[in-house]
A and B are shown apart, each in its own frame.
Chain A
Amino acid sequence: MMDRLVVSDASVLNFAPHIVFRFDELRKRWIILAPERLMLPDEQAVEILQLVDGKTGVSGIVDSLAARYSQAPRDLIAKDVTAMLQDLADKGCLAGAGPG
Chain B
Amino acid sequence: MPAQVDPPLALLAELTHRCPLACPYCSNPVNLERAAGELSEQDWRRVLAEAAALGVLQVHFSGGEPMARRDLLGLIGEANGLSLYSNLITSGTLGGTREIEAFAAAGLKHVQLSFQDFAADNGDRIAGLPGAHDRKTRFAAAVRAAGLPLTLNMVVHRQNLDGVPDMIEMALELGARRIEIAHVQYYAWAFTNRAALLPTRRQLDQATEAVEAARARLKGVLTIDYVVPDYHGVRPKSCMSGWGRQFINIMPSGIAVPCHAAETLPGIAFPSVRTNSLSDIWYESDAFNRFRGTDWMAEPCRSCDRREIDWGGCRCQAFLLTGDAGRTDPVCTLSPDHGVVAAAVQEAEGLPPEFIYRSYGFLPSKAGEASAKRTEGS
A residues touching B (Cβ–Cβ < 8 Å)?
A: 1-6, 16-18, 20, 22, 24, 26-27, 31, 33, 35-36, 38, 89-92
Contact of A2 among B178, B221, B223 (CB under 8 A): B221
Q: How large is the interface on B (under 10, 10 to 19, 20 to 34, 35 or more residues)?
A: 20 to 34
Assess whether B223 is in contact with A36, with CB atoms less than 8 Å apart. no
Residues of B within 8 A of A26 (CB): 7, 55
Secondary structure at the B interface, as helix, strand, loop or mixed, is loop
Q: How far is the CA of A24 from the CA of B58 in the complex (A)?
A: 12
- Interchain CA distance A90-B147 in the complex, whole Å: 19
A89 and B7 contact, CB distance less than 8 A: no
B109 touches A35 (CB 8 A): yes
Residue of B nearest to A3 (CB): B221
Which residues from chain B contact A35 at a C-beta distance below 8 Å? 87, 109-110, 112, 149, 151, 177-178
Contact A18 B220 (CB under 8 A): no
A24 touches B57 (CB 8 A): yes
Give the residues in chain B near A33, CB-CB below 8 Å: 57-58, 85, 109
**Cα distance A26–B83 when bound, in Å?**
13
Q: Is B172's beta carbon under 8 Å from chain A?
A: yes
> Is B9 at the interface (CB under 8 A from chain A)?
yes
Q: Is the CB of A18 within 8 A of B148?
A: yes
Report chain A residues within 8 Å CB of B10: 38
**Known contacts A4-B219, A90-B220; A31 and B57 CB within 8 A of each other:** yes
B136 adjacent to chain A (CB < 8 Å) = no
In the complex, which residues of chain A have a beta carbon less than 8 angstroms from the beta carbon of B109? 18, 20, 33, 35
Q: With the chains together, A36 CA to B149 CA distance in Å?
A: 11
Q: In the assembled complex, how far is the CB of residue A7 from the closest CB belonging to chain B, in whole angstroms?
A: 10
Pair B110/A36 contact, Cβ less than 8 Å: yes
Residues in chain A near residue B151, CB distance under 8 A: 35-36
List 8 contacting pairs A-B, 8 Å CB cutoff, sorted by A: A18-B110, A18-B148, A24-B57, A26-B55, A27-B7, A33-B58, A35-B151, A38-B57
Please determine whether A36 and B221 come into contact, CB atoms closer than 8 angstroms: no
A33 to B10, CA, bound (A): 11
Question: B60: which A residues are within 8 A, CB to CB?
Answer: 36
Q: Per-residue 0/1 for B141-182: is the Cβ within 8 Å of any A Cβ (1 yes, 0 no)?
A: 000000111010000000000000000000010000110000
B149 partner, pick from A20, A38, A90, A92, beta carbons under 8 A: A92
- Distance, CA A3 to CA B87, complexed state (A): 25
Closest 7 CB pairs of A and B: A4-B220, A35-B110, A90-B220, A33-B85, A26-B55, A18-B109, A1-B172
Q: Which residues of B contact A5 (CB under 8 A)?
A: 220
Smallest CB gap from A7: residue in B: B220
Given contacts A35-B149, A38-B57, 17 further A-B contacts (CB under 8 A): A3-B221, A4-B220, A4-B221, A20-B85, A20-B109, A24-B57, A26-B7, A26-B55, A35-B87, A35-B109, A35-B110, A35-B151, A36-B151, A36-B178, A38-B9, A38-B10, A90-B220
Q: Which residues of chain A have C-beta atoms less than 8 A from B57's C-beta?
A: 24, 31, 33, 38
Contact check: which of B83, B112, B219 meets A36 at CB < 8 Å?
B112
**CB-contact partner of B177 in A3, A6, A22, A92, under 8 A:** A92
| Interchain nearest-CB distance for B181 vs A (Å) | 14
Are A27's CB and B55's CB within 8 A? yes
Residues of chain B lying within 8 A (CB to CB) of residue A20: 85, 109
User: By CB atoms of chain A within 10 A, which of B10, B220, B221 has the most?
Assistant: B220
Residues of A within 8 A of B58 (CB): 33, 36, 38
Among A6, A17, A22, A92, the residue within 8 A (CB) of B147 is A17
Residues of B close to A36: CB separation below 8 A: 58, 60, 87, 110, 112, 151, 178
Pick the contact of B219 from A1, A18, A27, A90 — CB < 8 Å?
A: A90
Q: How far is the CA of A92 from the CA of B299 in the complex (A)?
A: 42
User: For residue B53, which residue of chain A has the nearest CB?
Assistant: A26
User: Measured between alpha carbons, how far is A56 from B34 in the docked complex, in Å?
Assistant: 54
Chain A residues closer than 8 Å to B221, beta-carbon distance: 1-4
A31 surroundings in chain B (CB, below 8 A): 57
B245 to chain A, nearest CB (A): 13
Establish whether residues B7 and A91, one from each chain, have CB atoms under 8 Å apart when the complex forms. Answer: no
Identify the closest chain B residue to A20 (Cβ): B85
| Complex alpha-carbon distance, A2 and B87, angstroms | 23
